[in-house]
Amino acid sequence: MTLSLGERWTLIDRISKETVTFGKYEHTLKDAVGELTVKPLTGIPVAIAIMYCFWSVFGSFAGTLMTDGFFVKLFDGYWLPWIQEAFPGQGSWLYAIMVDAGGFESGEFVLSDNCFEAFGALTSGLFVAIGVVLPAIFIFYLMLALLEDVGYMPRLAVLLDTVLHRVGLHGYAIVPTILSLGCNVPGVTATRILETKKQRFIMMTLLAIFIPCGAQIGIMEEVVPNLLGWILLYLIIGYFIFGYILNKIVPGKAPEFLIDVPPYRKPLLNNVSKKVWGRIAGFFKVALPFVMLGCAIVSLLYLLGVIQFIGDLLAPIFVGWFGVPKETAGPLVAAFLRKDLAVAQLSVIEMTEYQLITAVVLVSIYFPCVATFAMMLKEGWKELIAAIGVLTIVVFAYGGMIHLIGILLGVA
């Protein structure tokens, strides 16, 4: 016997009443807090408060407690003097690359008194990687893992959905964005959660250009703490300006998204520790070798005169268009290997505060580091070429715009 549509629903309703037992719903405090963190009126202030706490803990632990309070004393007070004496061939090219480029005053070779200025693979390379970057990414990934395990990240995605739609994305794009604040490599990988090619391309391009990694932020917190707010402001503005433009010119759709918002839960130590260890292990495998290699290559290029040649060649662009010293050519070369290393190098170049802001922003929006480049290539060579084309335009357009703003404000 064939039932009509109305009869089918009647049968379904009768069966459900006979087989399903409904419990009484009690609105708990946890439910109330969950609702408050999703509604814009209350959720946005809560999100700002959480991000402020996130940033405060990040800066206090990574910069003040670990880097300044422990690693600077360890490396500058003990490791640097020891390696300067123990490594043979003081004043030779190998010594300059591995330990200390130093300098000559009155015909005598003068050693550096801190690891930041030594620029050797075994001094600056190790100090940047272990003394500055490691504490930064450890506390970043620890706090991120806690927010994930508690269940806050889906709520943040819901809150930011309307804003991110302006750049052709949806709320869950906040996940690769925040991951990229730790490292761009897992951020690029996380773009796979987005549904369309258009969204993945926009997200991947914006991450490669405007999102500084935790290592880079850690270095900025250490060497230019008073300028960090301005640097991040320029990057955030660029993220939305060029995201909006890409949304208009890149063909394709940006559909709505459905997301399950789980109840708040107590974080599990096992889950948090596995997430943190997995991400830290990735740093030791990928970042540490590239930091040391970057120091060695840049030192070699300085010794061979390549950096001087590039600086002279690009001087009209650096000085005239971007408004920064031609010496920034060296850090831009290093940025392809490690952007955190490049920021450290910029900090010892003599320039005004606004020039330093411009130079650090340029390093951030410049060509992605080699690890991110390799990950973008795995996502597709056509997308990579297109992203590089967008990146080139953005560097010249936005870099020139920042210089123009400085001229108009009278600070360039």
- The C-alpha angle with vertex 191 and arms to 274 and 238, in degrees rounded to 5, equals 115
Supply the pLDDT for residue 234: 93
The HSE-up count of residue 369 (CA atoms within 13 Å, CB side) is 28
Q: Tell me which long-range contacts 398-405 makes (C-beta under 8 A, separation of at least 24).
A: 398/238, 398/241, 398/242, 398/361, 398/365, 399/321, 399/322, 399/358, 399/361, 399/362, 399/365, 400/321, 400/322, 402/234, 402/322, 402/357, 402/358, 402/361, 403/321, 403/322, 403/323, 403/358
Q: Please work out, in degrees rounded to the nearest 5, the angle formed at the alpha carbon of residue 237 by the alpha carbons of 236 and 243.
A: 90
Residue 404 in tokens: 């123009």
- What is the sign, positive or negative, of the torsion defined by CA atoms of 192, 194, 195, 201? negative
For 189, phi then psi, to 5°, come to: -60, -40
Token pair 């670990």 is found at: 66
Instruction: Give me the residues paired with residue 108 across strands.
Output: 105
pLDDT score at 78: 92
Count of Cβ atoms closer than 10 Å to residue 91 Cβ = 12
Dihedral sign for Cα 346, 350, 355, 356, please: positive
Tracing tokens 């693979």 back to the chain, one arrives at 121
Identify the segments of the chain with pLDDT beneath 70: 1-3, 25, 27, 102-109, 256-258, 286-287, 334, 336-338, 370-371
Show the tokens assigned to 394: 């953005």
Residue 141 CB coordination number (10 Å): 24
> How far apart, in whole angstroms, are the C-alpha atoms of residue 360 and residue 358?
6
Q: Which of 111, 103, 104 is nearest to 80 (CA)?
A: 111
pLDDT at res. 106: 47
105 beta partners: 108
Tell me which residue of 188, 200, 225, 235 sits closest to 364, measured CA to CA: 235
**3-class DSSP state for residue 383?**
helix
Distance CA 193, CA 157 (A): 13
- pLDDT of 55 reads 78
Please, where are the H alpha helices in 250-352? 269-304, 306-315, 329-335, 339-346
Distance CA 59, CA 139 (A): 9
The encoded tokens of residue 184 equal 């761009």
> Do the Cβ atoms of 149 and 183 come closer than 8 Å?
no
d(CA 41, CA 37) in angstroms, rounded, equals 9
